Homo-oligomer: A and B are copies of this chain.
Amino acid sequence: MSNIRAVADLAGVSVATVSRTLQQPDLVSPKTRAKVTSAINKLDYKPNLLAVKFRSGKTHNIVVLVPTVANVFFARVIRGMQDAAAAEGYALLLVNTMGDDDTEEKYARMVQTSQADGVVQLRAFNPFPEAPSDCDELLPMVNACETLDAPNCPTVSLDNRRAATAMTEHLIALGHSHIAMVKGPKHSPLTRERMMGFKDALRAANLQYCEELMFAGDFTLHSGYEAADRLLSQNYPISAVFCENDEMALGAICRFKEAGLRVPEDISVSGFDNIAFANYSDPPLTTIAQPAEEFGETAINLLIDVLKGKTKRAMKVILPFDLVTRKSTGPAPEKPVNFSS
């Protein structure tokens, strides 16, 4: 691999001139510039960016911690991030962390070892354990989608609570009063917020919240299927199920159909996220649309502001949601089915 000295020799100039030809061409006379350019081409010279980044201390890399790239919603967020990053000359290093704390810490350490300038974290976990969470200085990190409770880290999130309220109100308006919920992972803030919104709506409608109607899941198709299975074998009558994401809703619908139930005639099912499959399922899914690409764009732009020192305080951005009603929710049946009977 040829280096800048080889180019300088061939062109009969100093290395400084070669560097300037590439970085600030207007400081170099046209004649010299031509000689250098020709030497560069002849040698097929490519600057060693590792050296450049080492010297300058700026990598223009951003590490993105993604719980699962398999999640269709995250895939959209990633697309948004890529556009924003490309526009600012940053490269994205995606890491599929499987939600593992150690993996996230390991990759976040790329910042401390000068391999990346900042981190976008899509999960509510602080991968910089030693960093003081009090407000001294901003972390080189932005948190998106799930809300991390850290005052020194900008955040982009949805108003999950209100969104869950809107969905629940939709179900209540259809006449449902026995509503179950399939929740996400226990420690996810998303789950907490969406559950609060769910309770808000129940309370406002004078409906009773019932712990037995809450079913655990983990955002996968399979866990939705299993939750529906447990739901079918318990004693409370239920006419609607609010799932905390689309994958679980689709898994649940699958199980209900196996049991001979019709969606939405016998039971209404709703999701959250509005993934592509939601529009092609049978029936198409009522869900909450999130501006996924915008999440990504906003996160990257916030991070770049932090990296450039433009921001002093950690911004908390909240993006709007949209209730998308399709065919998986409908009027409550006369009398909610009591499955186990």
Contact = CB atoms under 8 A, between A and B. Distances in A.
Nearest to A282: B282
A59 B115 CA distance: 10
A69 interface: yes
A162 B105 CA distance: 44
Interface stretch (A4-12, A31-39, A43-51, A303-311): A43-51
A95 B96 contact: no
A79 B49 CA distance: 28
Contact of A75 (B59, B69, B110): B69
A46 B47 CA distance: 26
A114 interface: yes
A145 to B, nearest CB: 15
B276 A50 contact: no
| A1, A82, A98, A115: most-surrounded residue (chain B CB, <10 A) | A115
A92 B107 CA distance: 10
Given A69-B78, A69-B94, A50 B113 contact: yes
A83 B130 CA distance: 27
Nearest to A254: B280
A266 B44 CA distance: 61
Q: How many copies are assembled?
A: 2
| A49, A107, A225, A280: most-surrounded residue (chain B CB, <10 A) | A280
Interface string A240-281: 000000000011011001000000000000000000110111
A135 to B, nearest CB: 21
Interface string A54-87: 1000010000000011101001101100100000
A75 B82 contact: no
A53 interface: yes
A150 interface: no
A289 interface: no
A93 interface: yes
A96 B96 CA distance: 13
Interface in A88-125: 91-96, 98, 107, 109-110, 112-115
A315 interface: no
Nearest to A109: B46
B59 A50 contact: yes
Contacts of A76: 70
A281 to B, nearest CB: 7
B50 A115 contact: yes
Contacts of A1: 112, 114
Contacts of A251: 280
Given A46-B112, A220-B276, A221-B277, 7 more contacts: A49-B110, A50-B114, A54-B54, A78-B96, A79-B98, A91-B107, A222-B276
